[in-house]
A and B are shown apart, each in its own frame.
Chain A
Amino acid sequence: MSVKFTSKGLADGTDDTKELEFNVAGVTTGTTRTITIPDGDTKLYTGDGTSGQILTSNGAGTAPTFQAAAAAGANTSLSNLSATGEQRVCQAWVNFNGTGTVSISDSYNVSSIGDSAVGRFLVNFSNNMSNALYSVTAANWQGTTSSGYYIAAAGAIDTGSCRCACFWTTGSGADVDKNSVQVFGD
């Protein structure tokens, strides 16, 4: 492979009709712009794409191309997920203290929790689930003063909320300080 200089820039060493032109018309007068080549083989992408597209790798030895971004709402930082792959990520979660002044420590997609009795709570979603066939798991623990074993229970109620509870193994409700609930589904 060889190149030769032409009045425009570079041309293929054996076929003058294959040319590479450097266009510096947009550079401000008296200014030098620099193209820095990395210490490795590289390829340039083609075209400008369209608004909203993202530059995507096509693997080693192939130039990257612009492609449509994942559907709105998808987390494009999770590169293995397609738009429908959101089923695989947690749709809502909450960590709350069910003792004393009940309080939410942290949460995602949860607007509030309802406290209806000892050890019984309702988790309300900020944005509803698509249907009530989602999966809910819950876990409970009482800090450093745990004096027994607890059973966590949870289940879907409707698209807007799920229920979770904490019981002693005797069956009576228990307020504990570490409650966590996770929701997966559509």
Chain B
Amino acid sequence: MKIIYNNNGTLAQLIPAPNFLATLTGTDEEKLIHIANKDLPTGTPYEITDEDLSDRTFRDAWEYVAGSNEKTSADLSAEDLAKYNMTENK
């Protein structure tokens, strides 16, 4: 699974690092939500998908279209900020 999000009108994807995923707890979806909250600017619409994005022939033409499972990245909690050594949210 991966995270896709709207990057100024185009589609961008966020690929989690396996080493980092291994440090998180919860279900696969919970882990990806965690990463979305951490690595996407707060308020960014995104979706968690296992869609095949391997054909990059027209990569620069990809567009993000909101789906039914769209979520919005949130601020990390104070506890998470401390955990990730972050002084503020993106």
Contacts and interface: CB of A to CB of B under 8 A. Distances in A.
Contacts of B85: 127-128
B17 to A, nearest CB: 5
A128 B17 contact: no
Interface in A150-170: 158-161
Interface in B1-20: 3, 7, 10, 12-20
A118 B59 contact: yes
Contact of A107 (B12, B14, B20): B20
B90 A160 contact: yes
Contacts of B90: 158, 160
Given A99-B56, A111-B35, A94 B17 contact: yes
Interface residue tally of chain A, by bracket? 20 to 34
A13 to B, nearest CB: 61
Given A111-B39, A126-B84, A118 B17 contact: no
Given A101-B52, A160-B86, A111 B13 contact: no
Nearest to A129: B85
Interface string A94-129: 101001111110111011111111100000101110
Given A94-B17, A128-B86, A128-B87, A117 B39 contact: no
A112 B12 contact: no
A111 B52 contact: no
Interface of B: 3, 7, 10, 12-20, 23, 35, 38-39, 52-54, 56, 59-60, 84-87, 90
Contacts of B7: 114, 116
Nearest to B52: A101
Contacts, number: 88
B59 to A, nearest CB: 5
B16 A112 contact: yes
B17 A175 contact: no
A118 B13 contact: no
A114 B39 contact: yes
B80 to A, nearest CB: 12
B10 A126 contact: no
Contacts of B59: 117-118, 175
A59 to B, nearest CB: 37
Given A160-B90, A161-B39, A100 B16 contact: no
B35 A112 contact: yes
